[in-house]
């Protein structure tokens, strides 16, 4: 065949299918590209990948070249004809290079290049439901290594890696696994907590939608390590796309012998099923989650017994967050030391941080522990979306503290955050500009707790309702100083008397708002309120 006869291979174009990309019109963009290519008689191969996590640039279109993928973003359907006019399928051509949406090589974008993506190594790169793609990008290498080790040795690798529960509680994963391993039982379970309900967090969703096999592999390794043959992914009902992707991936893994009986022709068996949650935030608490999986109301259980000893259906159960489990494959693939070499202090490895709220460049940033909040908010985040000063930041979901600017230099580290009475939680960072009313946010914290309380313990069930009322009185200026004291007393009761973190941590956003933003809790129209109160007193 002479050179001129070589058939030009169709160009690969990537358009994300991650639900945040879809929420900004990625399906319409994909369709427009297919139609335009068809109309021009150009053959293309369009792949629906996950998102690279630069959400301010979605829909984020990439074109494959020999040098790597070239990004064009954000691409709306109206931009598509101009991209073809500029010969964007040949992105290094002079015309394509000059197109205003051409961002150059994706891998060279500073925002991505300065990250340390371990758990998210494949996210945005592969087709999420292609097992071949997963295998071609180091997939199932962790399992291959695990199959050569004893259960105890796998647990030791996980313990030595320093991995701590990424759901928020930061309990050492290896120790949890060891308890399950050491508890004899004819049946054990691996439960993945995918009830990611914290506002400002979406890393679990991204893993499940954009690289589901890594979670499946992590759970399989967990099963082999502790001797569990059944796994459940407890998935929040608000994630319908993740449900579809997970079920498709589980089917493919089964067919390829990575799930079911005799995994990879060994004696190990592991079955996996997705179970849908039903919109109860409290079911993110592990014992409430187990009740729900058993088909009951999601009431929190007393501990002990620990779920590791008496968990699902009374059997020893590993309950881990999506990110913890999705991090297991790389630890087993590259070794405990490789992972432990990242991070600071007792916070080893990396944390997938999610920038959210009022932030210009919101997205997924995976970094070794130790970066400061300020670097994330300004270097990665680019400041607020509205262009106003960032006044408050809530880290770690609705039960996390609000931090003022004076605390922005705190490094992201479980212990460092503990020192300032804050939590890292699941790594969600929600920014607010200076128009935020912190009394309203404190009120919302109580309100949310009241809506989501399971009702089992009094401090949470009643305290949350009283909290809303007390904040309303503070805002109205009714017996202001008395009620300011009362809200602290109430918070103290909830902190110390609640059965789980829902009631026990609602005081974090409330008290941090009170402590750092006291000016927002002064009586509204205070002069007028005082006059009215004086009038009332006189009349009485």
Partner 1 sequence: MAHVLTTEILDAEVLNTVLLDRIHALIAQHKNMPGALLPLLHSIQDNIGYVPEACYLPISKALALSVAEVHGVVTFYHHFRRQPAGRHILQVCRAESCQAMGSEKLEANIKSSLGIDYHQTTQDGAITLEPVYCLGNCACSPAVMMDDEVYGRMDNQKVAELIGDARATS
Contact call for residue 276 and partner 1 (CB under 8 A): yes
How big is the site for partner 1, counted in residues (CB under 8 A)?
61
Q: Interface with partner 1 includes 436 (CB under 8 A)?
A: yes
Percent helix / strand / coil, the chain, rounded to 5 = 45, 15, 35
Among 355, 442, 487, 514, binds partner 1 (CB under 8 A): 355
What are 193's strand-pairing partners? 234, 321
- Asked whether the beta carbons of 475 and 483 are under 8 A apart, the reply is no
Going by the DSSP 8-state scheme, the letter that residue 379 receives in this structure is: I
CB closer to partner 1 out of 15 and 22: 22
148 and 267 Cβ atoms separated by less than 8 Å: no
> Measuring CA to CA, which residue among 202, 213, 205 is closest to residue 353?
202
**Interaction between residue 389 and partner 1 (CB under 8 A):** no
| Of the candidate residues 220, 292, 327, 453, the single one contacting partner 1 (CB under 8 A) | 292
- C-alpha to C-alpha distance for 461 and 525, rounded to whole angstroms: 32
What is the smallest separation between the CB atom of 383 and partner 1, expressed in angstroms?
A: 13
| 88 vs 189, beta carbon nearer partner 1 | 189
CB of 346 to partner 1, least distance (A): 28
Number of H-type helices and E-type strands within the chain: 23, 16
Beta bridge partners of 343: 348
Measure the CA–CA gap between 49 and 63, rounded to whole angstroms: 12
From the list 94, 327, 96, the residue with the least C-alpha distance to 203 is 327
| 444 binding partner 1? (CB under 8 A) | yes
CB 470 within 8 A of CB 273: no
When asked if residue 281 is in the footprint of partner 1 (CB under 8 A), the reply is yes
Q: Is 88 in the site for partner 1 (CB under 8 A)?
A: no
- In this chain, which of 63, 121, 373, 431 binds partner 1, going by CB under 8 A? 431
CA distance linking residue 382 with residue 394, whole number of Å: 17
Q: Where are the alpha helices (DSSP H) in 106-202?
A: 110-113, 131-136, 141-146, 151-161, 173-182
**Does 115 contact partner 1 by CB under 8 A?**
no
Min separation Cβ 321 and partner 1, Å: 14
Q: Is 69 in the site for partner 1 (CB under 8 A)?
A: no
**Cβ closer to partner 1: 361 or 493?**
361
- Asked if residue 22 binds partner 1 (CB under 8 A), the reply is yes
Q: Which stretch binds partner 1 (CB under 8 A): 33-41, 236-244, 465-473, 498-506?
A: 236-244
- The CA R_g of the chain, rounded to the nearest whole Å, is 25
Give 225 or 280: the residue with its C-beta nearer to partner 1.
280
CA distance 343 to 214: 22
Closest CA to 452 of 387, 498, 517: 498
Using rule CB under 8 A, residue 19 touches partner 1: yes
Task: List strand residue ranges (DSSP E) for 144-228, in order.
Answer: 189-194
Beta carbon of residue 240, minimum distance to partner 1 (angstroms, whole number) = 4
DSSP 8-state code for residue 197: -
Question: How many Cβ atoms are within 10 Å of 523's Cβ, its own excluded?
Answer: 19
Residue 248 lies near partner 1 (rule: CB under 8 A)? no
Give yes or no for residue 378 binding partner 1 (CB under 8 A): no
Is residue 317 near partner 1 by the rule CB under 8 A? Answer: no
Question: Residues 199, 271, 522, 529: which binds partner 1 (CB under 8 A)?
Answer: 199
Q: DSSP letters of 255-272?
A: HTTSSBSSGGGSS--BEE
**Cα–Cα distance measured from residue 391 to residue 387, given in angstroms and rounded to the nearest whole number:** 12
CB under 8 A: which stretch of 138-146, 345-353, 431-439, 497-505 binds partner 1? 431-439
In sign, the C-alpha dihedral spanning 27, 15, 327, 141 is: positive
Residue 198: CB minimum distance to partner 1, A: 7
Residue 7 beta carbon to partner 1: minimum distance, rounded to whole angstroms = 39
Cα dihedral 526, 527, 528, 529 sign = positive
- Contact call for residue 144 and partner 1 (CB under 8 A): no
Member of 133, 196, 285, 310 binding partner 1 (CB under 8 A): 196
Q: Is the dihedral of CA 89, 93, 96, 100 positive or negative?
A: positive
C-beta separation of 376 from 362 below 8 A: no
Q: Which stretch binds partner 1 (CB under 8 A): 102-110, 123-131, 235-243, 331-339?
A: 235-243
Which one of residues 211, 366, 433, 520 is an interface residue with partner 1 (CB under 8 A)?
433
Quick check: 295 binds partner 1 (CB under 8 A)?
yes
**129 in contact with partner 1 (CB under 8 A):** no
Q: Which stretch binds partner 1 (CB under 8 A): 52-60, 91-99, 173-181, 247-255?
A: 52-60
Residue nearer to partner 1 on the CB measure, 43 or 273: 273
- List contacts with partner 1 (CB under 8 A): 19-20, 22-24, 55-56, 58, 196-202, 204-205, 236-241, 275-281, 292-298, 313, 354-358, 362-364, 385, 394, 398, 428, 430-433, 436, 441, 444, 448, 451-452, 454
């Amino acid at each position: 065949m002479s050179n001129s006869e070589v058939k030009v291979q169709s160009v690969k174009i990537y358009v994300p299918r991650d639900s945040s990309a879809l929420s900004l019109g990625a399906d319409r963009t994909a369709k427009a590209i297919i139609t335009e290519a068809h109309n021009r008689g150009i053959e293309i191969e369009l792949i629906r990948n996950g998102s690279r996590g630069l959400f301010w640039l979605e829909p984020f279109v990439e074109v494959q070249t020999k040098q790597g993928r070239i990004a064009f973003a954000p691409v709306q359907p109206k931009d598509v004809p101009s991209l073809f006019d500029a010969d964007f399928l040949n992105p290094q051509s002079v015309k394509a290079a000059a197109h205003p949406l051409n961002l150059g090589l994706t891998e060279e974008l500073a925002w991505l290049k300065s990250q340390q993506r371990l758990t998210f190594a494949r996210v945005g790169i592969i087709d999420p439901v292609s097992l071949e793609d997963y295998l071609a990008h180091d997939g199932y290498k962790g399992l291959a290594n695990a199959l050569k080790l004893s259960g105890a040795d796998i647990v030791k690798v996980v313990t030595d890696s320093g991995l701590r529960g990424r759901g928020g509680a930061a309990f050492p994963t290896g120790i949890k696994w060891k308890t399950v391993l050491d508890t004899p039982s004819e049946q054990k379970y691996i439960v993945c907590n995918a009830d990611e309900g914290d506002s400002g967090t979406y890393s679990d969703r991204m893993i499940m939608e954009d690289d589901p096999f890594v979670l499946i592999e992590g759970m399989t390794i967990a099963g082999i390590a502790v001797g569990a043959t059944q796994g459940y992914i407890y998935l929040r009902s608000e994630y319908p796309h993740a449900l579809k992707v997970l079920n498709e991936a589980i089917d493919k893994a089964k067919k390829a012998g990575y799930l079911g009986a005799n995994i990879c022709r060994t004696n190990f068996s592991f079955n996996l099923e997705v179970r849908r949650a039903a919109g109860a935030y409290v079911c993110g608490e592990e014992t409430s989650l187990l009740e729900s999986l058993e088909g009951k109301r999601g009431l929190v259980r007393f501990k002990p017994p620990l779920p590791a000893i008496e968990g699902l259906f009374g059997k020893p159960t590993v309950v881990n967050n999506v990110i913890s489990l999705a991090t297991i494959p790389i630890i087993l693939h590259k070794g405990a030391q490789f992972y432990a070499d990242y991070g600071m202090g007792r916070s080893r490895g990396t944390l997938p941080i999610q920038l959210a709220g009022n932030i210009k460049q919101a997205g997924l940033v995976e970094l070794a522990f130790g970066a400061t909040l300020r670097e994330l908010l300004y270097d990665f985040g680019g400041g607020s979306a509205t262009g106003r000063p960032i006044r408050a930041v809530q880290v770690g979901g609705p039960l996390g503290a609000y931090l003022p600017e004076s605390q922005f230099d705190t490094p992201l580290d479980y212990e460092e955050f503990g020192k300032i009475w804050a939590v890292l939680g699941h790594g969600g960072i929600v920014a607010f500009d200076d128009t935020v009313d912190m009394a309203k946010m404190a009120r919302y914290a109580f309100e949310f707790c009241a809506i989501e309380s399971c009702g089992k313990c009094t401090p949470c069930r009643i305290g949350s309702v009283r909290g809303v009322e007390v904040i309303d009185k503070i805002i109205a200026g009714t017996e202001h100083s008395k009620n300011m004291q009362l809200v602290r007393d109430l918070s103290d009761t909830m902190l110390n008397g609640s059965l789980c973190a829902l009631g026990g941590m609602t005081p974090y956003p409330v008290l941090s708002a009170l402590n750092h933003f006291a000016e927002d809790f002064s009586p509204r129209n205070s002069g007028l309120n005082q006059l009215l109160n004086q009038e009332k007193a006189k009349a009485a």
